[in-house]
Amino acid sequence: MFTSFGRYILLLRLSFRKPEKFSVYWGEVMREMVSIGIGSLGIISIISVFIGAATTIQIAFQLASPLIPRSIAGSIGRDTTILEFSPTISSLVLAGRVGSSIASQIGTMRVTEQIDALEIMGVNAPGYLIAPKIIGGVTMVPLLVIVSIFLGIGGGYLACFTSSDVSTSDYIAGLRDGFDPLTVQVALVKSVVFGFIITSICAYQGFYTTGGALEVGQSATRGVVYSCVMILFADLVITRLML
């Protein structure tokens, strides 16, 4: 485990070495940002709306008491979406979508000698392949999380609109009640860290793939599993430190 961690740190150090030509690397960063950001927008939108709606209905169901104001569904739904569902669930989904793609792409390049070809040319392969993905991850995952927060809250509103459990006016009153901007800061810190975890761990798994097609698949699976575990661990640590 310590050997792997050491190799991971060394690979990260190599990844952020001075680029051979900034303009070429910038192009790669843009390509990765589009791939991670725009490419994941659809799935993130769908899960955010549904999770937001389901969460609001469940909160309303569990807190159905004359002693509790109905607007509480909006407050709890908002904070749960901002603090947990949008950053963590979105990142777990992104680990599957983006992480597996990164690990299998780099892994395939490794087993088909494309990475060797880069090195022979004098290109810093970790810098060219991994750094743009990490930059793309830490910039686009927070943006996706912001979109997810809005859509999750919107999903809650839709759930109120289509059911009689909580009225939309109660829900909006709950959203406005006791909002703490710290929750958004926590969500953004989480999303930056999760973006880094997904891209760097999956890139590491892909970069050190040996063998053939079977091993590329195994690297992608390992990348996703390790990313998910590390996301949940980092989630706990950040929550403990910031709240």
Instruction: List contacts with another protein (CB under 8 A).
Output: 17, 20-21, 24, 109, 112-114, 116-117, 119-124
Return the number of the residue (7 or 176) whose C-beta is nearest another protein: 7
Cα→Cα distances 51→28, 44, 59, 156, 162, Å:
33, 10, 12, 8, 15
Q: Give me the residue label for tokens 């303009």.
A: 23
**The token pair that represents 132 in the structure block:** 């743009």
Return the number of the residue (113 or 180) whose C-beta is nearest another protein: 113
- 136 and 37 in contact (C-beta within 8 Å)? yes
**The token pair that represents 95 in the structure block:** 């680990």
Return the number of the residue (21 or 240) whose C-beta is nearest another protein: 21
Among candidate residues 94, 101, 102, 99, the one with its CA nearest the CA of residue 47: 94
| CB of residue 119 to another protein, shortest distance in Å | 6
| CB of residue 217 to another protein, shortest distance in Å | 17
Return the number of the residue (119 or 177) whose C-beta is nearest another protein: 119
| CB of residue 10 to another protein, shortest distance in Å | 12
| CB of residue 133 to another protein, shortest distance in Å | 14
